[in-house]
């Protein structure tokens, strides 16, 4: 019987679909977790409670047990519940008895050996199946379009309900409030089944036995083996072919090729440093290197005593500074912040940065473009 986490999990599917042998490779590494993951777990628990309450389902309030609870998290959970309620009301227009399932276990083992996951919310109605996944992270923008995690959840939901409801299309929504991102992707059911048969299953069969070829890409970001993966090292060391020549000595084609690899190269280099440091702390000796104490800043041993002593000396021990936009939003809550301070907030133009053409942000005009318009 599978444990709490599937080898070929939906959340890691982007990686093992592109790099099948990474699934078995990652079994050799412990799941260290992170503060980001812990915060996300708390946010999901709060979202589950808010949504159940909104739907009239009895649930225990987890707030007092949440280590990462904040007013921002409260706003995010309330927004998520309101969004799902809107979807349910919309479904009622086309179906007399739509069903909304919360934190539903979804089994897609028909296509992926021992494959299962948990859907944050599944709404089933005649005509359409809707999967909603909550993402609390503010770092990486997650798109629903052609998202394999969402498609695996959808396949699991279809296994349960396709024979009960007359489902023709599948909608998948990523709700990511801290990035102001609500991304929805809708495809015909038959197209999803075609992907499952011709793309998913062959890759999953390879991944389950540890077969296939190692491939590097942006999916390496969350791979447990990313620091000491030889294939990733080989891919990044290909930049050595340019012999670290100065930029003006490179051709345009070479610059363009290097630009496409720099972010991954930087990420890989940082992963190597973190891996070597953790190993050194555990007792590993690296030739030519030693573990030393880093710089630190002075700190007070007793802040209350410091405050009392400074006041007694006739000085003000506090620094008075206006809270930043993020901190003020956390203090007031998103809704109240917009009501009170919305007219006092502006967003200056961002610093120019190079991005791939696939980036959805509009292209900036340049000095050359402005000159052309003037003439």
What's the CATH code of the domain at 35?
Answer: 3.90.320
Residue 3 pLDDT > 60:
no
Q: What is the pLDDT of residues 293-345, one digit of tens each?
A: 888 888 999 999 999 999 999 999 988 888 888 778 877 877 888 899 989 99
Question: Do 238 and 142 reside in the same domain of the chain?
Answer: no
24 shares its domain with 155:
yes
What domain range includes position 152?
13-209
Q: Cα–Cα distance between 267 and 275 in angstroms, integer? A: 12
The 3-state DSSP class for residue 296 equals coil
78 domain residue, yes or no: yes
pLDDT at 6: 78
Same domain, yes or no, for 157 and 273?
no
Percent of the chain, pLDDT > 70? 94
Do 113 and 146 reside in the same domain of the chain? yes
What is the Cα–Cα distance from 257 to 11, expressed in whole angstroms? 30
Answer yes or no: do 23 and 72 share one domain: yes
> Residues 277, 311: one domain?
no
Mean pLDDT within 168-181: 92
Question: What was the pLDDT predicted at 369?
Answer: 54
Do 323 and 260 fall within a single domain?
A: no
Please compute Rg for the chain using Cα positions: 25
- Higher-pLDDT residue of 250 and 54 is 54
Rounded Cα–Cα distance for residues 54 and 52 (Å): 5
- Higher local confidence (pLDDT), 79 or 269: 79
Phi-psi region of 333 (alpha: psi -120 to 50; beta: other; left: phi over 0): left
Does a structural domain hold residue 356? no
The reply to whether 29 and 172 lie within a common domain is yes
For residue 218, is it within any domain? Answer: no
Q: Which two tokens stand for residue 62?
A: 């987890």
| Among candidate residues 1, 53, 6, 13, the one with its CA nearest the CA of residue 204 | 13
Looking at the fold, whether 162 and 124 belong to one and the same domain comes out as yes
pTM: 0.70
pLDDT (tens digit per residue) in 131-163? 999 999 888 889 999 999 999 999 999 998 888
User: Are 177 and 315 contained in the same domain?
Assistant: no
340 domain-assigned: yes
**Residue 309's CB: how many other CB atoms inside 10 A?**
12
Q: Are residues 276 and 336 in the same domain?
A: no
The length of the chain in residues reads 375
pLDDT at 242 over 80: no
Number of structural domains in the chain = 3
The reply to whether 298 falls in a domain is: no
Q: Is 5 within the bounds of a domain?
A: no
User: Is residue 5 pLDDT above 80, yes or no?
Assistant: no
Q: What's the pLDDT score for residue 269?
A: 76
Can you list the alpha helix ranges (DSSP code H) found in 238-343?
Answer: 252-281, 303-312, 325-332, 334-341
pLDDT at 188: 95
Same-domain status, 177 and 32 = yes
């Amino acid at each position: 019987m599978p444990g709490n986490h599937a080898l070929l999990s939906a959340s890691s599917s982007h990686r093992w679909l592109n790099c099948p042998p990474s699934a078995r490779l990652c079994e050799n590494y412990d799941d260290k977790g992170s503060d980001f993951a812990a915060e996300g777990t708390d946010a999901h628990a709060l979202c589950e409670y808010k949504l159940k309450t909104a739907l009239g389902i009895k649930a225990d309030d987890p707030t007092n047990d949440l280590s990462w609870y904040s007013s921002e998290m409260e706003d995010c959970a309330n927004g998520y519940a309101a969004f799902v309620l809107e979807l349910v009301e919309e479904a009622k227009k086309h179906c007399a008895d739509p069903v909304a399932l919360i934190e539903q276990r979804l089994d897609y083992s028909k296509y992926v050996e021992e494959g299962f996951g948990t859907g944050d919310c599944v709404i089933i109605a005649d005509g359409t199946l809707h999967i909603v996944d909550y993402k609390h992270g503010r770092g990486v923008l997650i798109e629903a379009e052609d998202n394999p995690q969402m498609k695996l959840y959808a396949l699991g939901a279809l296994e349960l309900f396709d024979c009960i409801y007359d489902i023709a299309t599948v909608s998948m929504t990523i709700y990511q409030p801290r990035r102001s991102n609500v991304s929805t992707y809708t495809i015909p059911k038959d197209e999803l089944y075609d992907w499952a048969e011709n793309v998913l299953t062959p890759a999953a069969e390879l991944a389950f036995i540890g077969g296939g070829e190692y491939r590097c890409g942006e999916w390496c970001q969350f791979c447990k083996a990313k620091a000491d993966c030889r294939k990733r090292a080989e891919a990044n060391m290909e930049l050595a072919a340019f012999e670290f020549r100065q930029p003006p000595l490179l051709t345009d084609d070479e610059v363009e090729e290097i630009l496409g690899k720099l972010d991954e190269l930087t990420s890989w280099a940082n992963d190597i440093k973190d891996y070597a440091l953790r190993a050194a702390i555990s007792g590993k000796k690296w030739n030519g290197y030693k573990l030393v104490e880093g710089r630190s800043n002075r700190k007070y041993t007793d802040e209350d005593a410091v405050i009392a002593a400074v006041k007694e000396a006739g000085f003000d021990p506090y620094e008075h500074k206006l809270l930043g936009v993020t901190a003020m939003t956390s203090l007031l809550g998103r809704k109240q912040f917009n009501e009170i301070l919305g007219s006092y907030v502006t967003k200056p133009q961002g610093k120019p940065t190079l991005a791939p053409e696939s980036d959805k942000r509009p292209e900036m005009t340049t000095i050359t473009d402005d000159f052309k318009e003037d003439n």
